[in-house]
Amino acid sequence: MFRPEFPPQDRTDMIDEALRRLMDVNLSQNLALPAQWRGLRDDDLSKESGISGCVFVHMSGFIGGNVTYDGALAI
């Protein structure tokens, strides 16, 4: 599996936007994140999504973040 080196050491607050760009995926072909996640942050988002370490999902659903690499991939 391809694992981008971003950020190089601590991997905190990984954002799926950055992962998509690093993996050279066309953003226009990605689906929005689920409507029930949009606008949620932190524990509320982790509970709703079932993914630990969530940071946020944008109100439009185009981007979300997590404190771990694997969490960012799960989003």
Predicted model pTM: 0.63
Q: What is the DSSP string of 7-72?
A: SSS--TTEEHHHHHHHTT--GGGSPPPPGGGTT-BHHHHHHHHT-TTEEEE-TTSS-EEESSHHHH
Per-residue pLDDT of 14-68, as tens digits, reads 565 566 666 655 555 667 899 999 999 999 999 999 999 999 999 999 889 999 9
Instruction: Give the up-direction half-sphere exposure of residue 13: CA atoms within 13 A in the CB hemisphere.
Output: 2
Does residue 6 fall inside a structural domain? no
With cut-offs at 50, 70 and 90, classify the pLDDT of residue 69.
confident
- Number of domains the chain contains: 1
16 vs 2: which has the higher pLDDT: 16
Does residue 40 fall inside a structural domain? yes
The whole domain housing 65 covers 35-75
Task: State residue 54's pLDDT score.
Answer: 95
Does residue 13 fall inside a structural domain? no
Does residue 51 fall inside a structural domain? yes
Task: State residue 31's pLDDT score.
Answer: 77
Using CA atoms, how far apart are residues 70 and 35, in angstroms rounded to an integer? 21
